[in-house]
């Protein structure tokens, strides 16, 4: 990665690099917060409640970014371990963007967690077949070009009996909520992006990509076509987001 820092003194490099990553992470958190009014944190907790992480499980978080979901997974498994014993759970964060991975490295948040990071593409995961008990992807599948290929990869790396959870912005089935959310998104989000991050275009893209994303039933069909069984979804906040789940039997 070229950060363009060749000409600055060695003593200043670390803080300049940290500054870049801080702003990447900050903007990314801001985007999720802006789109969901901060509720993505609740949705992520609901995802964990649905997955019910267990001690000793191996978890892969695809498009895991700064590691929000991976940390939640290990901590939830640890809560169970405190009561029932067992091995710690392990999470691997895989993301195509090395800067996002680096932005998430946080010694205090990572302390004591069995967490690793690897740079890789959801469409060609750098893992052998049947490596994980759980695969998750949160607010990532929307950006993947060939979603069916990625879903087949998730299926390949899961062990038999493994489970998949895909958390993504979705379409409220209720007409008034859909209309309200559409107006809110287009009227509020891009100007908010301009104001907060000086980046209207990325936020405009974000809103458009959410609108283009397949509706719940269409996406569930893709999950089934990739080989998953017991496929279903839960709408969160009236369908502003949805958690799609499936099992490899
Ligand atoms: N999952 C994290 C969360 O919810 O906190 C991060 C979500 S962020 C909105 C989307 C992430 O998807 C980014 O970190 C981006 O680099 C990653 N991404 C986009 N396309 C990808 C791909 N083809 N393979 C792996 N990661 C990808």
Average pLDDT of the chain to the nearest whole number: 88
pLDDT digits 0-9 by tens, 56-95: 999 999 999 989 999 999 999 999 999 999 999 999 999 9
The pLDDT assigned to 196 comes to: 79
Determine, yes or no, domain membership for 3: no
Q: pTM for this one?
A: 0.89
For residue 78, say whether it is annotated as part of any ligand binding site: no
pLDDT digits 0-9 by tens, 147-169: 999 999 999 999 999 999 999 99
Determine, yes or no, domain membership for 5: no
Give the Å distance between the CA of 85 and the centre of ligand 1. 33
Domain harbouring 181, CATH code: 3.40.50.150
ipTM over 0.90 threshold: yes
Q: What letter would DSSP give residue 160? A: E
Banded model confidence at residue 15, pLDDT cuts 50, 70, 90? low
Determine, yes or no, domain membership for 4: no
What would the two tokens of residue 48 be? Answer: 């964990």
The pLDDT assigned to 23 comes to: 54
Banded model confidence at residue 10, pLDDT cuts 50, 70, 90? very low
Question: Scanning the structure block, which residue is given the tokens 């870049």?
Answer: 20
Helical ranges in the chain per DSSP H: 10-36, 40-51, 68-84, 98-103, 107-110, 147-157, 175-197, 200-212, 216-225
Determine, yes or no, domain membership for 231: yes
- The reply to whether ligand 1 has any atom less than 6 angstroms from the CB of 143 is yes
What whole-number distance in Å separates Cα of residue 161 and Cα of residue 40?
A: 28
Q: Which of 161, 100, 109 is nearest to 135 (CA)?
A: 161
pLDDT digits 0-9 by tens, 109-133: 888 899 999 999 999 999 999 999 9
For residue 22, say whether it is annotated as part of any ligand binding site: no
- The reply to whether ligand 1 has any atom less than 6 angstroms from the CB of 63 is yes
The pLDDT assigned to 24 comes to: 56
- The reply to whether ligand 1 has any atom less than 6 angstroms from the CB of 97 is yes
Q: Quote the domain boundaries for residue 176.
A: 10-247
Question: Domain tally for the chain?
Answer: 1
């Amino acid at each position: 990665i070229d950060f363009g820092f060749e000409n600055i003194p060695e003593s200043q490099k670390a803080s300049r690099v940290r500054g870049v990553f801080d702003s990447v992470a900050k903007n990314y958190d801001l985007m999720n917060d802006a789109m969901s009014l901060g509720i993505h944190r609740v949705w992520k907790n609901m995802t964990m409640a649905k997955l019910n992480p267990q001690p000793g499980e191996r978890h892969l978080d695809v498009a895991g970014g700064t590691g929000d979901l991976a940390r939640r997974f290990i901590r939830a498994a640890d809560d169970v371990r405190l009561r029932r014993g067992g091995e710690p759970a392990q999470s691997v964060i895989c993301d195509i963007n090395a800067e996002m991975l680096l932005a998430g490295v946080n010694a205090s948040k990572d302390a004591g967690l069995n967490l690793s990071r690897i740079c890789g593409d959801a469409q060609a995961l750098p893992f052998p077949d049947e490596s994980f008990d759980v695969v998750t992807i949160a607010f990532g599948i929307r950006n993947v070009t060939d979603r069916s290929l990625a879903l087949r990869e998730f299926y390949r790396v899961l062990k038999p009996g493994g489970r998949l959870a895909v958390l993504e912005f979705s379409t409220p089935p209720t007409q008034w909520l859909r209309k309200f959310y559409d107006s809110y998104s287009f009227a509020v989000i891009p100007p908010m992006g301009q104001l907060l991050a000086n980046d209207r275009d990325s936020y405009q893209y974000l809103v458009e990509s959410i609108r283009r994303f397949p509706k719940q039933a269409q996406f569930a069909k893709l999950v089934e076509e990739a080989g998953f069984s017991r496929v279903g979804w839960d709408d969160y906040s009236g369908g502003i987001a949805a958690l799609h789940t499936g099992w490899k039997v």
